[in-house]
């Protein structure tokens, strides 16, 4: 993994200093630096609290793997390895990604006029064997991350209860949710800017 | 006391997309107002946000909240050229409509309607969804926001070309990308940490 001062979006889009995209990003300087500050806050925080670096990168490897954006997924897989994750854990995460891929967004609305737009889809539950390898804490996080990636409008208090039951605190849940939500942003900025660069 | 899920008070669940002012009720305990330290206030960026349950809940991870907020502000408020504010808000509203975030869609459809003065078109987006016909320029922006919001992402050079055809320069296209991408961030927090509520009838 490269250092946390290397801009992840620039690296993964392939933005070179002095290029047209470099100039465009400089017109929104805070968006550029604070997107990177968000990455640092979530993956190299000043105070890690009760979520380890391996847990943070495990969640990121899963979320980015579900998006199927190869370079970004490889970046977080490398971060996971650098955090000291065991080969067994990394294999379990690869298995979890392969079993959980899908298409989103889907989900249900409150009963009423929008019900005709309800789009059913799976509620994820990590397979028993993988659950054993991940441990109950990460497995519960992965089940919730799948919901955030593919069908966030199905969220309900019960989905958060599963995280509390697995030992995550309220503050941990805020951070886990920020990781999934931030990655949903970062991955899309990377994909979008790459398409913009490619359409020159 | 172990952490617990909050039971929202009795309320009216909004069952349609609306430009009306909605409340948001947290499912997890926000920090108490009198527990906010200097570090939390720095994270909130605007002191007025200390009144919001949503921001006091996110303040549990202050570093992440501060960077999120400063990213948000530059994407939407930086007035140096690029996409007009009305259309950055349109991209935010379209993303929220597509992901199904009734709360975010209400806020950003109001902003888009205010800045564009095109209330009927914004309302059509809410009522009919992301396939509503809003004229080619807005259709191109909505289609780009939708293609960026699918998982896997389906945004590609054809969307860039369509936006260029609608007279967006590359800075404006980058603004569409950032506005839609940011609302994939915001929608997931708003949808999963609490729920919208219609204000009580007076």
Chain segment B66-95, per-residue pLDDT in tens: 999 999 999 999 999 999 999 999 999 999
Classify residue B27 by its DSSP letter.
Answer: S
Which residues pair with residue A104 across a beta bridge? B151
Length of chain A: 200
Q: Which residues of B touch A113 (CB under 8 A)?
A: 15-16
- Looking at every residue in chain A, the average pLDDT score rounds to 95
Torsional class of A104: left (φ above 0), alpha (ψ -120 to 50), beta (otherwise):
beta
| Interface contact A45-B63, CB threshold 8 A | yes
Q: DSSP secondary structure string, chain A?
A: ---TTS-HHHHHHTPPTTSHHHHHHHTSHHHHHHHHHHHHHHHS-SS-TTS-HHHHHHHHHHHHHHHT-HHHHHHHHHHHHHTT--HHHHHHHHHHHHHH---B--B--SSSGGGGG-B--PPP---HHHHHHH-HHHHHHHHHHHHHHH-GGG--HHHHHHHHHTT--HHHHHHHHHHHHHHHHHHHHHHHHHHHHHT-
In angstroms, the Cα distances linking B90 to B60, B118, B160, B162 are 30, 11, 17, 17
Chain segment A9-47, per-residue pLDDT in tens: 999 999 999 999 999 999 999 999 999 999 999 999 998
- Contact A121/B at CB under 8 A: no
Q: Which residues of B touch A150 (CB under 8 A)?
A: 151
Q: In sequence order, which residues have a C-beta less than 8 Å from that of residue A52 and are 6 or more positions away?
A: A83
Assess whether the previous peptide bond of B152 is cis (omega < 30° from 0).
Answer: yes
| Interface contact B186-A181, CB threshold 8 A | yes
Residue A129 to residue B96: CA distance in whole angstroms: 36
- Three-class DSSP labels, B31-76: CCHHHCCHHHHHHHCCHHHHHCHHHHHHCCCHHHHHHHHHHHHHHH
Average pLDDT over residues A111-123: 96
Q: Which of B151, B160, B193 sits opposite A67 (nearest CB)?
A: B151
Query: How far away is chain A from the Cα of B15, in angstroms, using its nearest Cα?
Result: 6
pLDDT of residue B199: 80
pLDDT of residue A167: 96
Q: Which of B27, B60, B75 sits opposite A171 (nearest CB)?
A: B60
- Any idea of the CA torsion for B116, B16, B51, B109, to the nearest 10 degrees? -10
Q: Which of B7, B153, B182 sits opposite A67 (nearest CB)?
A: B153
Task: Using alpha carbons, select from A34, A37, A101, A36 the residue that is nearest to residue A64.
Answer: A101
Q: Which residues of A touch B125 (CB under 8 A)?
A: none
Residues 71-100 of A with CB under 8 A from B: none
Find which of A28, A120, A146, A166 to mutate to test the B interface (most B CBs within 10 Å of its CB): A28
Average pLDDT over residues A100-113: 97
Average pLDDT over residues A101-105: 97
Give me Rg for the CA atoms of chain B.
Answer: 18
Task: Using alpha carbons, select from A46, A23, A60, A15 the residue that is nearest to residue A186.
Answer: A60
Find which of B12, B132, B152, B175 to mutate to test the A interface (most A CBs within 10 Å of its CB): B152
Band (A4; pLDDT cuts 50, 70, 90) = low
pLDDT higher than threshold 80 for residue A122: yes
Residue A171 to residue B59: CA distance in whole angstroms: 9
Average pLDDT over residues A83-88: 97
| Interface contact B184-A185, CB threshold 8 A | yes
Share of chain A above pLDDT 90, in %: 94
| Interface contact A35-B71, CB threshold 8 A | yes
Band (B201; pLDDT cuts 50, 70, 90) = low
pLDDT of residue A1: 41
On whether the CB atoms of residues B65 and B71 are closer than 8 A, the answer is no
Count CB-CB contacts under 10 A for residue B117.
10
Chain segment A65-76, per-residue pLDDT in tens: 999 999 999 999
Chain segment B5-52, per-residue pLDDT in tens: 999 999 999 999 999 999 999 999 999 999 999 999 999 999 999 999
In angstroms, the Cα distances linking A3 to A75, A168, A188 are 12, 28, 22
Question: Searching chain A, which residue's CA lies closest to the CA of residue B129?
Answer: A117
pLDDT of residue B202: 57
Residue A166 to residue B114: CA distance in whole angstroms: 45
Band (A5; pLDDT cuts 50, 70, 90) = confident
Q: Which residues of B touch A170 (CB under 8 A)?
A: 3, 28-29, 60
Chain segment B144-194, per-residue pLDDT in tens: 999 999 999 999 999 999 999 999 999 999 999 999 999 999 999 999 999
In angstroms, the Cα distances linking A115 to A118, B96, B132, B196, B197 are 5, 17, 18, 17, 18
| Interface contact A114-B15, CB threshold 8 A | yes
The pTM (predicted TM-score) of the whole model is 0.97
Query: How far away is chain A from the Cα of B201, in angstroms, using its nearest Cα?
Result: 20
Chain segment A179-195, per-residue pLDDT in tens: 999 999 999 999 999 99
* B165 CB-contact burial (10 Å; exposed 0-12 / middle 13-18 / buried 19+): exposed
Residue A145 to residue A48: CA distance in whole angstroms: 20
pLDDT of residue B80: 96
Query: How far away is chain A from the Cα of B136, in angstroms, using its nearest Cα?
Result: 20
Query: How far away is chain A from the Cα of B71, in angstroms, using its nearest Cα?
Result: 4
Assess whether the previous peptide bond of A105 is cis (omega < 30° from 0).
Answer: yes
pLDDT of residue A2: 42
């Amino acid at each position: 993994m490269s250092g946390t001062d290397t801009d992840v979006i620039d690296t993964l889009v392939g933005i070179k200093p002095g290029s047209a995209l470099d100039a465009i990003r400089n017109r929104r300087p805070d968006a550029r630096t604070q997107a990177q500050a968000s990455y640092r806050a979530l993956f190299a925080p000043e105070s890690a609290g009760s979520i380890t670096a391996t847990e943070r990168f495990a969640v990121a490897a899963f979320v980015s793997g579900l998006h199927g954006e190869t370079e970004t997924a490889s970046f977080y897989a490398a971060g996971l390895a650098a955090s000291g994750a065991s080969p067994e854990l990394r294999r379990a995460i690869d298995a979890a990604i392969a079993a959980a891929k899908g298409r989103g967004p889907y989900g249900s609305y409150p009963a009423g006029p929008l019900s005709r737009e309800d789009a059913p889809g799976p509620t994820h539950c990590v397979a028993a064997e993988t659950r054993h390898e991940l441990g109950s804490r990460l497995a519960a996080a992965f089940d919730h991350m799948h919901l955030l990636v593919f069908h966030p409008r199905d969220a309900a208090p019960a989905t958060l209860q599963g995280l509390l039951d697995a030992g995550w605190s309220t503050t941990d849940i805020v951070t886990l949710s920020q990781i999934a939500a931030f990655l949903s942003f970062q991955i899309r900025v990377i994909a979008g800017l790459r398409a913009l660069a490619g359409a020159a | 006391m172990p952490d617990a899920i909050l039971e929202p008070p009795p309320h009216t669940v909004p069952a349609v997309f609306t430009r009306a002012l909605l409340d948001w009720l947290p499912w997890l305990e926000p920090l108490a107002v009198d527990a906010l330290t200097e570090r939390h206030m720095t994270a909130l960026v605007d002191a007025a946000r200390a009144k919001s349950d949503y921001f006091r809940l996110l303040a549990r991870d202050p570093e992440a909240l501060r960077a999120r907020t400063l990213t948000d502000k530059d994407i939407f408020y930086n007035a140096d050229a690029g996409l007009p504010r009305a259309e950055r808000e349109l991209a935010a509203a379209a993303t929220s409509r597509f992901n199904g975030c009734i709360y975010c869609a209400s806020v950003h459809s109001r902003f888009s309607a205010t800045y564009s003065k095109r209330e009927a078109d914004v309302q059509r987006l809410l009522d009919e969804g992301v396939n509503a016909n809003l004229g080619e320029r807005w259709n191109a922006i909505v289609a780009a926001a939708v293609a960026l919001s699918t998982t896997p992402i389906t945004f590609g050079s054809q969307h860039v070309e369509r936006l260029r055809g609608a007279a967006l320069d590359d800075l404006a296209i980058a603004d569409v990308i950032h506005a839609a991408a940011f609302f994939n961030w915001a929608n997931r927090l708003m949808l999963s940490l609490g729920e919208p509520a219609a204000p009580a009838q007076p």
